Amino acid sequence: MREIKTIVTTAGRPDDVSMALAAFACNELGAFFEPRKKRSIRKISEEHQAHVIVAGKNRFEYYALGTNEPFFFHPNSAAFRLKRVARGEEEPFLEAAQLEIGDSLLDCTLGLAADAMLAAYTVGGKGRVVGLEANPNVAFIVKQGVQTYDTTELPLTACMRHIEVVQDEATRYLKKLPDKSFDVVYMDPMFEEIIDEATNFEALRIAGEHASLTDEWVCEAKRVAKKRVVLKAHFRSEWFAKYQFQRYERLTAKFHYGVMNTSN
């Protein structure tokens, strides 16, 4: 199958800033630049049969070939989840991960980095959070987002600056790591079943990689995790039983967390 190329263009009325951002994206992604020339993104994508990265004044957007809606970075649910944590309220992901100040977490499926932000907030400046994203375009968008998003109105999301975004596939990256090199390894594969309420993830679902949990992935995660492996999956998933995760059931939620302790 022919690999679909990626091209970079600007917003409808480019200025010096967006042109500079477009040049930066071309360099980072090894993509070529296509002048906008008043064309729609859909037309540019169809003419070149390519994915399109748009360099705007305030953000980058990614249009996968054949889609109308862009994927772009936003703190999404992390902002209000962090506020709840700051108030001392329960947070299911953090309950499962049991992170402590100074811990390290490897997020194998970064997505929009919401869980990684909670992890970074919890482990603090002395801790470490690394997030993996297999799709180069999605990794680029999220990496730029966590590094440059204006957090002045969302002070709790400043922790996003501590997230290290790595473009790589989870199992391949895990194989490169020494035993027990992260305290916690977290896996949140794309759900086997669509969750109707999760419409804000639709652009990511279309643009991102769709990885399924495998024996090799779980085995490598167990080897790398010093304390525990955490899995997030649909409540009907067979993965919890198949891989012997201790499930944290949530009666009103359509996804659950599972934990596998590796410290023994």
Residue-level length of the chain:
264
Fold: same for 6-63 and 78-261: yes
Query: What mean pLDDT do residues 20-26 have?
Result: 96
Say how far apart CA 231 and CA 233 lie, in whole Å: 6
Q: What is the pLDDT of residue 200?
A: 41
- Would you say the C-alpha torsion 68, 71, 77, 79 has a positive or negative sign? negative
Indicate the fold that domain 78-261 takes in CATH: Rossmann fold (3.40.50)
Nearest CA to 164 out of 113, 203, 230, 210 is that of 113
Q: Give the start-to-end residue ranges of the domains of the chain.
A: 6-63, 78-261
Say how far apart CA 248 and CA 92 lie, in whole Å: 8
pTM: 0.91
pLDDT at residue 198 above 90? no
The larger pLDDT score, comparing residue 101 to residue 152, is at: 101
pLDDT at residue 2 above 80? no
Say how far apart CA 139 and CA 110 lie, in whole Å: 9
Q: What residues have CB less than 8 Å from 56, skipping those under 6 apart?
A: 10, 11, 18, 21
pLDDT at residue 246 above 60? yes
Say how far apart CA 113 and CA 129 lie, in whole Å: 10
- Give the tens place of pLDDT for each residue, 204-243: 555 555 678 999 999 999 999 999 999 999 888 999 999 9
Query: What mean pLDDT do residues 242-246 have?
Result: 95
- Give the tens place of pLDDT for each residue, 44-56: 999 999 999 999 9
* Alpha-carbon separation of residue 158 from 222, 254, 255 (angstroms): 30, 29, 27
Instruction: Find out if CATH 3.30.2350.10 is the number for domain 6-63.
Output: no
Q: What is the pLDDT of residue 47?
A: 95
Q: What is the pLDDT of residue 73?
A: 93
Say how far apart CA 164 and CA 130 lie, in whole Å: 5
pLDDT at residue 195 above 90? no
Query: What mean pLDDT do residues 136-165 have?
Result: 93
- Give the tens place of pLDDT for each residue, 90-120: 999 999 999 999 999 999 999 999 999 999 9
Q: What is the pLDDT of residue 65?
A: 92
* Type of residue at 253: A
